[in-house]
Amino acid sequence: MWNPGFPFIEQKPAHLIGYHRAFCIYSHHYRGRPNTPGLVLGLDSGGSCDGVAFRVAAVDWLDAVTYLNERELIGYAYRPAVVTVEIAGETIDTYTFVADTDHPQYAGDLVLQRSAALIMNAEGIAGLNRDYLINTVQQLEDRGYEEPELRRLMEHIGALTGIIDQGSGI
């Protein structure tokens, strides 16, 4: 949402039904290593979540899709999907990526303690896995999106490590 990487005409808040954000994909490169995998977010089936939809000019559509496919489909358990979102009372079909439950890197619905252990101990070429969690929660909350499960995971890690200031919210 905060770093689309492609040109767009506008962005609008969107509500997705049928999928929720979850740390459900193992990362062996960007946020972990093969011997200490991390977790990254995916849209997993069930529930709903709020986010942003980007409107792309027709002339830029193919380049945007090509860029996104190259970025999101290399080495992770995502599959492209057209999903329906609600934007300002209208339903609109959008292109996105959802978790591929058949992929070996699909972690599924892990218990809080297991997710926390993986995230606390993982670091990849993009940095510490816990920084990814903290930054994600902060970015979402700065935009007014509540993600109680992600917040609970972050607070659990903070309680275990003392790295997250509970008084400040992050």
Q: What is the per-residue pLDDT across 32-88, written as a single tens digit (0 to 9) for each?
A: 999 999 999 999 999 999 999 999 999 999 999 999 999 888 877 999 999 999 999
pLDDT bin (cut points 50, 70, 90) of residue 162 is confident
Among left, alpha and beta (phi > 0; psi -120 to 50; other), residue 144 is left
Q: 152 near 112, Cβ under 8 Å? A: yes
CATH architecture designation of domain 10-168: Roll (3.10)
Is the pTM higher than 0.85? The answer reads: yes
Angle (CA) 35 22 130, round 5°: 50
Q: 17 near 48, Cβ under 8 Å? A: yes
pLDDT bin (cut points 50, 70, 90) of residue 164 is low
pLDDT of residue 167: 45
pLDDT of residue 123: 97
> What percent of the chain has a predicted confidence (pLDDT) above 70?
95
pLDDT bin (cut points 50, 70, 90) of residue 95 is very high
* pLDDT tens-digit series, residues 6-28: 999 999 999 999 999 999 999 99
What does each C-alpha distance from 113 to 15, 53, 157 come to in angstroms? 29, 32, 9
